[in-house]
Amino acid sequence: MPSPIDKIFEEIFGYLPDKAGTAFERLASIASYLLNEGDVTHDDKLRGQFSKTLYQLDIHDKSNNGSTMGEAKDYSLQGKKVGRGDLQKLGGALPDLKGIDSGAFFSATEYTDPAKKYAESAGEIFGKPIALWGLRPGTELDEEGFIKNVVIQMHIHMPQPEKARWVPCLTKRGESALRVLAEPGADRVEYQTVLSCFYDVYGNEILSLHELTSAGYGETNSDTGMSHGCFLLKDHYIQINGILAEINGLEYELPYENYTEELRITDDSGHRFVLVDKDGNVSRFLTDRKLREFDFSENGKLSKR
């Protein structure tokens, strides 16, 4: 009969392993990876150094923290705790496995006091510590104090260059060059030109308006909500009706548009598992989305999709 853990596993991954207990062992393998970020293999085998016994490892985790042998027990169907006897298989194997530095036990239920004391003494008895972890479906009580919703309000101050006022500041030579456009006796002469780039004295394009303004427009006046300033452009020219006119710079007045956008990051993942340490403190949550990032090869190697 499937355990409550088995049913959740099937809902998340869409299948249920044939062998009883495998679903929880695989969940524990993922939890082990999230703790150590090493190379994790489910259902691995190692031969003992002294006894030559072939040991089965529910979890074999090799990381920068060393190599760990992990055991996993799902007693959620029976509703019983993990006892000292469950840990003794792990404890008995540790001294015989030369390549293993520590042990880890993952349980879907709580541990008995004798089991906790046995794990606490493992370092002195075997010279290799045993860490106890709880891995079970999370509750609302577990989530107290954890942020599930992040709300970011972005106040955007956006320049409107298409509404800007641009005024080239001509030098005396520039003004003189443009006087030839005035017809004798005319009170006013108007010409239209597109201001998109600037030239050197020989008429070569040396700077575009886009390049000039790409670094910004300076500070905004708090009273007017506009930027006002001048780009100094020595030895730069503008072209009007085929005539190059020298300028000192380009004066501008630029309006801005203000608006607010709200960004929400919500963790609404279902069937959340919680990983707790031996004292019952929450270490991390395993959401559906996070669990689905992982897969197992035919030889039990854990990998990210």
| CATH number (domain holding residue 124) | 3.40.1350.10
Whole-structure pTM value: 0.63
Judgement on whether residues 158 and 200 belong to the same structural domain of the protein: yes
Phi-psi group of 164: left, alpha or beta (phi > 0 → left; psi -120 to 50 → alpha; rest → beta): beta
List the strands of the sheet with 39-47, edge to edge. 39-47, 54-63, 66-73, 102-107, 130-137, 273-276, 282-286
Judgement on whether residues 257 and 296 belong to the same structural domain of the protein: no
Query: Above pLDDT 90, what percent of the chain?
Result: 70
For residues 173 and 236, what is the distance between their CA atoms, to the nearest angstrom? 12
Judgement on whether residues 200 and 244 belong to the same structural domain of the protein: yes
Judgement on whether residues 234 and 163 belong to the same structural domain of the protein: yes
For residues 92 and 267, what is the distance between their CA atoms, to the nearest angstrom? 42
Residues 6 or more apart whose Cβ sits within 8 Å of residue 16: 2, 6, 9, 10, 23
Judgement on whether residues 136 and 30 belong to the same structural domain of the protein: yes
Range of the domain at 283: 4-140+269-304
Does 258 fall in a domain? yes
pLDDT tens figures, 100-144: 999 999 999 999 999 999 999 999 999 999 999 999 998 766 666
pLDDT tens figures, 223-241: 888 999 999 999 999 999 9
Considering the chain, what is the average pLDDT of its residues?
91
Residue 272, classed as helix, strand or coil, is coil
Does 188 fall in a domain? yes
Judgement on whether residues 18 and 128 belong to the same structural domain of the protein: yes
Structural element, H or E, at residue 139: none
Total residues belonging to the chain: 305
Judgement on whether residues 163 and 128 belong to the same structural domain of the protein: no
Q: Is the pLDDT of residue 75 over 80?
A: yes
Judgement on whether residues 257 and 274 belong to the same structural domain of the protein: no
Does 147 fall in a domain? no
Does 148 fall in a domain? no
Q: What token pair was written down for 183?
A: 């017809």
pLDDT tens figures, 179-220: 888 877 777 778 788 899 999 999 999 999 999 998 888 888
Residues 23, 14 contacting (CB under 8 angstroms): no
pLDDT tens figures, 261-280: 888 766 655 557 999 999 88
Judgement on whether residues 77 and 167 belong to the same structural domain of the protein: no
Q: In the structure, what pLDDT confidence band is assigned to residue 305 with cuts at 50, 70 and 90? A: confident
CB burial of residue 232 (10 Å; 0-12, 13-18, 19+): exposed
- Looking at 35-44, 56-65, 257-266, which range is the least confident one? 257-266
Does 146 fall in a domain? no
Domain count, the chain: 2
Half-sphere exposure of 60 (CA within 13 A, CB side): 15
